[in-house]
């Protein structure tokens, strides 16, 4: 029965991406780029997810002899780490190391796409990244659907080495976002009611956010046509842990960190995360 449920979810997510244009789910194995093409030292890693699926990762190091910390990135479902790492070169230039990995079925990682497996992959990546240097504090960032996996991975758990988490452009639930995107397609509009009957809610961010114990920053752009920024507001309001909310004007889906003021503020809270919760809500223009 569980396999059938997984298949239903994956079918509808595939339809979601077809409706929106890019056909990159449930996997993307293309190699877009490599850290070797840049002036950063890095190591490639393989590690095992919780079900022993082999996953691949890059650990890219800043130019500083002693980095200030480690950023662990859980991507969304578009492209893979060979594409995504280039969006975070600025964090390396600021003195932080980056650990970025590919979920199962992405890049060179093994196994088939599986939403529950993706959550296990995040757990394993966080644990493995910590093992590389147990002295460094970690910030875990989940983008788009990756934010859902991060929330699921962290629920009911406390990690003393995790400073805080970031949920970037994350939707409240698979059923909500699938239905919303299906409604945008003339062809798929008649099927927009089906996700509410077929997609289980157990992985939905709004079902699990109340069990989060890790401090979390929600960030979203108000020009996001994939996931409404109000989803982040809703998740923020439901969160019982320490929390903050940043809304970025004119930012599209997972594009908030392109804003230089956002980057500057983010670097400040990496230095001192108590600043994050002194002003819980912030709007960037």
**Residue 112 pLDDT:** 86
Give the separation between CA 109 and CA 101, rounded to whole angstroms: 9
Q: What's the DSSP call for residue 245?
A: E
153 pLDDT tier (thresholds 50, 70, 90): very high
Q: Which of 209, 137, 140 has its CA nearest to residue 171?
A: 209
Three-state DSSP class for 87?
Answer: helix
**Residue 279 pLDDT:** 83
Mean residue pLDDT across the chain: 88
pLDDT at 114 over 90: no
Give the separation between CA 50 and CA 236, rounded to whole angstroms: 29
Of 95 and 7, more confident: 95
Give the separation between CA 184 and CA 192, rounded to whole angstroms: 9
Three-state DSSP class for 122?
Answer: helix
Give the separation between CA 156 and CA 51, rounded to whole angstroms: 20
All residues at 6 or more sequence positions from 112 whose CB lies less than 8 Å from its CB, including other chains:
26, 104, 105
Helices (H), the chain: 2-20, 81-84, 89-93, 115-132, 145-154, 174-182, 194-198, 205-208, 230-238, 260-271
Three-state DSSP class for 74?
Answer: strand
CB neighbourhood size of 180 (10 A): 17
Residue range 189-196: average pLDDT? Answer: 72
pLDDT at 72 over 90: yes
All residues at 6 or more sequence positions from 144 whose CB lies less than 8 Å from its CB, including other chains:
75, 76, 77, 78, 168, 169, 170, 171, 226, 227, 253, 254
Residue range 222-236: average pLDDT? Answer: 96
Domain residue spans of the chain = 28-173+202-284
- Reported as half-sphere exposure (CB side, CA atoms, 13 A), residue 12 has a value of 27
Of 246 and 182, more confident: 246
Residue range 240-251: average pLDDT? Answer: 97
Note the pTM of the prediction, 2 decimals: 0.88
**Residue 27 pLDDT:** 73
pLDDT at 23 over 50: no
pLDDT at 235 over 60: yes
Q: Which CATH superfamily is domain 28-173+202-284 in?
A: Alpha/Beta hydrolase fold, catalytic domain (3.40.50.1820)
């Amino acid at each position: 029965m569980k396999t059938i449920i997984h298949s239903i979810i994956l079918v509808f997510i595939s339809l979601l991406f077809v409706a929106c244009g890019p056909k990159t789910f449930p996997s993307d194995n293309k190699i877009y780029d490599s850290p070797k093409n840049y002036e950063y030292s890095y190591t490639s890693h393989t590690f095992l997810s919780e079900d022993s699926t082999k996953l691949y990762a890059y650990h890219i190091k800043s130019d500083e002899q002693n980095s200030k910390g480690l950023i662990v990135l859980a991507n969304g479902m578009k492209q893979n780490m060979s594409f995504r790492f280039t969006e975070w070169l600025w964090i390396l230039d600021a003195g932080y190391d980056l650990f970025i990995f590919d979920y199962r079925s992405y890049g060179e990682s093994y196994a088939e796409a599986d939403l529950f497996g993706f959550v296990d992959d995040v757990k394993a990546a966080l644990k493995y990244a910590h093992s590389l240097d147990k002295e460094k504090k970690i910030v875990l960032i989940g983008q788009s659907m990756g934010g859902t996996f991060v929330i699921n991975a962290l629920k009911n758990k406390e990690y003393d080495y995790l400073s805080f988490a970031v949920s970037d452009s994350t939707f409240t639930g698979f059923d909500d976002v699938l239905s919303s995107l299906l409604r945008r397609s003339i062809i798929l509009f008649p099927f927009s009611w089906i996700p509410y009957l077929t997609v289980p809610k157990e992985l939905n961010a709004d079902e699990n956010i109340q069990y989060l114990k890790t401090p979390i920053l929600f960030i979203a752009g108000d020009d996001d046509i994939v996931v409404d920024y109000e989803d982040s507001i809703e998740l923020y309001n439901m969160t019982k842990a320490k929390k903050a909310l940043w809304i970025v004007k004119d930012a599209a889906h997972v594009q908030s960190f392109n804003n230089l003021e956002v980057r500057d503020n983010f670097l400040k809270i990496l230095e001192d995360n108590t600043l994050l919760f002194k002003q819980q809500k912030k709007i960037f223009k």
